[in-house]
Amino acid sequence: MLQMEPGAGRTARRKLPIGIQTFRTIREENCYYVDKTAYMARLVAEGKHYFLSRPRRFGKSLFLDTLKELFAGNEPLFKGLAIHERWDWSVRHPVLRLSFGSGNFKEPGYLYENSMEQLTAIEHRAGVVAESATAPGRFARLLEALHQQTGQPVAVLIDEYDKPILDALEVPEVARANRDYLRGLYATIKDSDAHIAFTFLTGVSKFSKVSLFSGLNNLIDITLNPHYSAICGYTETDLDAVFAPELPGLDRDAIRDWYNGYNWLGDNAVYNPFDVLLLFFNRQFGAYWFETGTPTFLIEMLLTRGVSALALDDLLGSEEVLSAFDVDHIATEALLFQTGYLTIRRPEWRGGEIYYRLGYPNREVQQSLNKSLLNHLTGNLARRAEHSARLYDLLLVNDIEGLETLFEAFFASIPYQWHTNNEIANYEGYYASVFYSYFASLGLAITVEDSSQAGRLDMAVLFNGNVYLFEFKVVERVSAGAAIRQLKERDYAAKYRGRGEPIYLIGVEFSRETRNVAAFEVEGM
């Protein structure tokens, strides 16, 4: 816990470090700070070369900047923190830091220019004369010279190591060129090991060792190490202790529902810091993290691959799949997990191999991602918003008849050209996905593929004291009653009767020919 200044009460408020990624600024301007330095002490004690993958805006850059100040020996900044009494402040290490957080990496050749400019700036500050025309050569020369100048090995910190590749994914030839260039640059770290005290690389993705990291195979990947699961992000304890002055006036359960839930196999899930800080600043809930840059290609990829929106909240991925990410092959599960749109619910063992059950981390992501999917499907943001608002109003007054009319409007609003240009429209899961996404975009309590002894219910919605149980079928010919008969015959309502709330069985049949609702039947219980 961050120590309070002398004379300050326990309820004293501090400056919110929104957008501040500089450790010195946070400490000198008396901002809130969640102490992560105990992790740093453990890292240094247990190893030398590390890699960490976390989604954007999770505090990776701040962690690296804190490491920079630590190895530089700036003791006053660490007073009162966990590492202060465990660090030898008499030793100061030179620090070589590279960051690829900004720039137009889609442009061919830009990565070369960017890296050369960064190396030139470091050379000027260190008084080192470049003796090589290549980036790896200059990198190696800098490490050797800094070691010789100070008598201490170098701390190498690389931020956003993968951004030049991720930014260029829509231009595969540039992404491959950037990957190959970075492979050669990062291989310098292994070759210059004698001049290095510590290495830490961060990024969003985990590129496989056979691609980007083939020349740097001595990295310890702590991405899914339970001991470091909370190395970035805020825990429940952090919110209640460090940010206690900000909590009055806000619903604590709602904060948890909206923003908590990210997990990398640790005992505790964590919050995205960006969301928490913006919530405390604005004093209202919003999709702050999601709105800072969800890539269009992600939405298009989900639709192109025919990924059902219902399936996203219950995907299963192997350890191999989740840790592999390359320009030429990006598994859906890996992309969604590494970029923060899905998180690990639990590990599952099968035949000696570990798998991970994935799902949405929280309401923000579930609600916002489904809004984006619907916006892309309908091509009309205003119409989608109108339908969503109407759906909420109808559910609020339990207007079942109005639901059928609205559901027909859902599908009628999707342009005919979209159907003819996208194969996903032929998949059975497509129709149910549109249904589900409208409910999910409102942040309602939804369960999909709910298992019972009789089978798996397509979708259950709990709202305003009512239980709505849906069964979907896609038919060539209208066979009114088939969906609702299945609901009744399998008695999917059995597990919900104990709630003592009205239950509505809703059978919906879709026509491939009309691409709309062909039958809609309801029975109340």
Question: Rounded mean pLDDT of 12-19?
Answer: 94
pLDDT score recorded for residue 7? 35
- Stronger pLDDT, 28 or 208, i.e. the higher one: 28
pLDDT score recorded for residue 483? 84
Q: In what order do the strands lie in the sheet with 315-318?
A: 315-318, 353-359, 343-350
- Stronger pLDDT, 302 or 228, i.e. the higher one: 228
CATH class, range 374-524: alpha beta
Q: Which two tokens stand for residue 443?
A: 């942040």
User: pTM, whole model, 2 decimals?
Assistant: 0.89
DSSP 125-192: HHTPPP--SSHHHHHHHHHHHHHHHHSSPEEEEEESTTHHHHTTTTSHHHHHHHHHHHHHHHHHHHHT
Q: How far apart are CA 440 and CA 213, in angstroms?
A: 39
The pLDDT tens digits for 428-473 are 567 788 888 999 999 998 988 766 666 788 899 999 999 999 998 8
Q: How many helices (H) and strands (E) does the chain have?
A: 19, 13
pLDDT score recorded for residue 445? 87
Question: Rounded mean pLDDT of 377-403?
Answer: 90
Please, which pLDDT band fits residue 21 given cuts at 50, 70 and 90? Answer: very high
H or E stretch at 226: none
Question: Rounded mean pLDDT of 94-119?
Answer: 96
Rg (CA), the chain: 26
CATH 3.40.50 domain extents, the chain: 37-228
Residue 9 has pLDDT above 60, yes or no: no
The pLDDT tens digits for 466-515 are 999 999 888 776 666 788 888 998 999 998 999 999 999 999 888 877 77
Q: How far apart are CA 503 and CA 26, in angstroms?
A: 53
Residues 6+ apart with CB under 8 A from 155: 67, 68, 71, 93, 94, 95, 96, 196, 197, 198, 199, 200
Greatest CA separation found in the chain? Answer: 82
Residue 8 has pLDDT above 70, yes or no: no
The pLDDT tens digits for 151-168 are 999 999 999 999 999 899
CATH 3.40.1350 domain extents, the chain: 374-524
pLDDT score recorded for residue 297? 78
Q: How far apart are CA 222 and CA 211, in angstroms?
A: 19
Q: How far apart are CA 525 and CA 523, in angstroms?
A: 7
Strands (E), 34-111: 49-53, 95-99
Q: What is the CATH number of domain 37-228?
A: 3.40.50
Q: Check residue 263 and report its DSSP letter.
A: -
Q: 3-class DSSP state for residue 337?
A: helix
Q: How far apart are CA 264 and CA 385, in angstroms?
A: 34
The pLDDT tens digits for 227-277 are 999 999 999 999 999 999 999 999 999 999 999 999 999 888 999 999 999
Cα 450 from chain centroid? 25
